[in-house]
Structure 1
Amino acid sequence: MRFLAITLIVHAPDPVTGVLKSTSDRFREVVGNAVLAEELGFDGFGVGERHERPFISSSPPVVLSHLAALTSRIRLFTAVTTLSLLDPVRAYEDYATLDHLSGGRLELIIGKGNGTAQRELFHVTPEDQWDRNAEGYEVFRRLWRQDRVSAATRFRPELVDAEVWPRPLQQPVRVWHGSATSKESVDLAARHGDPLFSANVSHPVEPYAELIRYYRERWEHHGHDPARIAVGAGTAGHFTARTSQEAIRAYRPVFEGQLAFQRKLGLEPVFPTLEDFVERSSALVGSPQQIVEKVHRYHEQFGHTVLHLHADASGLTDAQHRDSLELFQSAVAPVLRREIPDPPFPWGPVQAGPVPVPVPAGDPVPADR
C-alpha cells in the first residue's frame, strides 16, 4: 500500500484556537508539511484545486512547482485538477512544464470540481459541467500523447493540427479520476483504463463502495485486465496515538471545532458526535492497531491500494500533528505495506530529483577583449 498526504489549502480560523493565519503563513505551512511528508516517508503529496472561499488552492501548478524544487523523491499530486473549469490546452502547458521541473514525479487526479461559486466564476453550469470535464480530459490526454492534435471541441476553440509545448517528460502521465458520489467520473475512468480515487470523506462507506463496485464492472465491460485496476481512497480525518483513549482525548476539540464550523456554514453534520465520526466515517483516529484494522475493513469493501491522510494539522498543535504522522509511519504504514499490495504499476520518479538549477559563474567575457 502507498500513502499520500493531501491538502486543499483551506484558509479559515483554526477550529480550536480561532486564530486565522495570514495567507503567506498558510502557504508556508503547506510547504513545511510537504517537506515533512517526504522526510517521514510518505509516497506522495497532493494539492487540491478550488476557486472559492475558504480555499486558496486556485493554482496547484505553481504550488507544486515550488514543492518540486524543495523535494527530491515524493510524488506530486493534484487533488483534484478541475478540468471542467479549465482550458485543457493551458492545463496541459502548465502540467507538462511541471512534469519536467519535478523530474517526472507528477501525477494528476482530475475531476469536475464542486461548488456553485467556482462554477459561476468560470460560467460553467450544472447541465454542462460533466460534458466539459469529459471533453477537457479527452483533449488533455491527446495533447500529452500526440505531437499534433486536431479536435472539434464544444467548449473551447477548435484545434487544427495544433502543436503545444513543451512536450512532456513522462509518456504518459498517470491520471486518476476523483470520484465522490457520481457515476460520470467512474465511467470516464473505466473507459480509458485509468485508476480511480474515491473521495471517501463525507459519508459512511456504503455509497463509495457501491461506486467502486460499479467502476470494476465498467472496467471489465471495456475489456481491461482486472489485475490492472488501481483504487485510492481518502480519509475524513486522522490522529494516531499510543492508545485509543489518548487519541479520542486529543482529537475531541478538533472535531468539535470542525462541527461548529460546519453548522456556521449552514451544513447539517453527517456524523453528529465524535464517537459516531470515529465509528462510521473513514476517519482514522485511534491506536495503531485500531487504525490498521479499520483500513483493512475499508480495503475489504474497496480493494484500494493507495490511501491519503490530511497533510494539515487542522486544529491539532504542530507537535501533535508531527507526532501523529511519525507514529503512523513507524507503527501503521509498515504493517499495511506488508499486508495490502501496492498499485499494479511502478512508483517513482522518471529521473532522480528535480531539474537542477545551475549557478552562473559570472558574466562571460567577449573573446576580443
Structure 2
Amino acid sequence: MKFLLITLITHLDPTRSTRQRFREVVDNAVLGEELGFDGYGVGERHERPFISSSPPVVLSHIAARTSKIRLFTAVTTLSLLDPVRAFEDYATLDNLSDGRLELIIGKGNGAAQAELFHVTAEDQWDRNRESYELFRQLWRSPRVTWEGRFRPALRDAETWPRPLQQPIRVWHGSATSRASVDLAAQYGDPLFSANVTNPIEPYAELIRYYRSRWAHYGHDPAKALVGAGSAGYYAAPTSQEAVETYRPIFDARLEAFTRLGLTPVFPTLEDAIDRGSILVGSPQQIIDKIHRYHAEFGHEVMHLHADADGLTDKQHRATLELFQSDIAPELRRTIPSRPLGGE
C-alpha cells in the first residue's frame, strides 16, 4: 500500500496568519518526505474556510523544498477552470518538479465557488467532463483542434510548455456521484474515493460501480486502481491515550461544523471511530481497521490528513513517525500496490 498526506488548507485559527498557515503546509510536505510518505496532496477550494485556491503555486514551492515525494492535487476542480490555463500551469509544475506530479480531478464542492466561476448544478458535471477531455488532449498533443460548449474552440492550437511526463496519471475524485466514477472508468483512469464524511457503504457502492463500469468499457479488471481517504488520524501506543489526546481535536471540529451551519454525520468521537473512516487508536487497531476497509474497497493507496489539526508540533511528528514505524510496514507487506507514476 502507498500512503499520501493531503491538506485542503483550512484556515480556522485566528491567531495564525495566512503566511504562517502556508508555511505550515510546506513544512508538513518536507516532513512527509523525510518520514517516507509516498505523496503529498494539496486541495483546491475557492471559499471559506479554505485558502487552497491556487494548488499549482503551493505545489511549486513544495517541489522546490523536496526531491522525492510525489505531488498530488486533491482535487483539481476542472469544472471551474479553463482547461488550457490549467494545462499550462500543471505542465509547468510537472517540469519544475522533475515529473513528480499526479492529478486528482473533480468538479469541486460549494455554492460560493460555483458563483465565483458562474457554474451551475445543472452544468457542473458536463463542464468537468468537457474540461477533462480537452485537458487530456492538450497533455498528449502539442497541437490540438477541438470544439466544445463552455470555452472557445481551438484550431491547430499550440500549447507550451510541453509536460515532462507523457502521459500523466490522472485520478478521478469521487464522493457522491456516479458521473465522476463513470468518467474514470471510461478512460481507464484510477479512482480516488473521498471516504471522509459518511459511513463506508456509500463509498464502497461507488467503487463497486467503478469496477463494473471499468469492465463495461472493456478494460482488464486487474488493472483497475483505487485510492481512498480517511477522516482523521492519530495513533498512540494505547487506544486510551489516542482517544484522550484526539477528543478535544474532534470536539473542536464539531464546533467548527456548527459555526458553518453543517450537521456532522458522527456526533461523537466513539461513533466516528466505530462507523467512520477516522483512524484513532493503537497501531494494531488502525492496521485492523484499514484491512477492513481494504476488504470492501480493494484500494492500494490511502491518505492521511497532513495537518496537525490542534496537535502540538511534537505530537504531530510523533504520531506520523509511529505510523511509519509501526503501521505502514505491515500494510505495505500485506496489501500489494503498484508503483505511483514515475517510479
Tell me what 2:284 maps to: 289
The 2-side partners of 1:124 and 1:266 are apart by: 23
1:71 aligns with 2:76: no
TM-score (ref. length: structure 2): 0.99
Tell me what 1:359 maps to: none
Maintained 8 Å contact 2:4/2:302: yes
| Rg (Cα) greater in structure | 1
Give the secondary structure class of the aligned counterpart of 2:316. helix
Give the secondary structure class of the aligned counterpart of 1:161. strand
Tell me what 1:253 maps to: 248
Tell me what 1:4 maps to: 4
Tell me what 1:275 maps to: 270
Residue deviations 1:165-184 (CA, integer Å, cap 9, x gap):
11111000100000001000
Give the secondary structure class of the aligned counterpart of 1:307. strand
The 2-side partners of 1:197 and 1:279 are apart by: 22
1:120 aligns with 2:145: no
Q: CA RMSD in A?
A: 0.9
1:215 aligns with 2:210: yes
**Matches for 1:50-199 after TM superposition, within 5 Å:** 50-199=45-194
Residue deviations 1:248-295 (CA, integer Å, cap 9, x gap):
000000011111111121211100111001111100100000000000
Maintained 8 Å contact 1:149/1:159: yes
Identity over aligned pairs, percent = 73
Residue deviations 1:98-119 (CA, integer Å, cap 9, x gap):
0010000000000000100000
The 2-side partners of 1:20 and 1:161 are apart by: 51
Maintained 8 Å contact 1:11/1:20: no
Q: CA deviation at 1:349?
A: 4.0
Q: CA deviation at 1:147?
A: 1.7
Maintained 8 Å contact 1:73/1:348: no
Maintained 8 Å contact 2:102/2:341: no
2:298 paired residue among 287, 296, 303: 303
Aligned AA for 1:211?
L
Aligned AA for 2:226?
V
Give the secondary structure class of the aligned counterpart of 1:156. coil
The 1-side partners of 2:27 and 2:8 are apart by: 15
Aligned AA for 2:206?
L
Structure 1 unmatched runs, 5+: 14-18, 351-369
The 1-side partners of 2:177 and 2:341 are apart by: 31
If asked which structure has higher relative contact order (CA below 8 Å, sep 6+), I would say 1
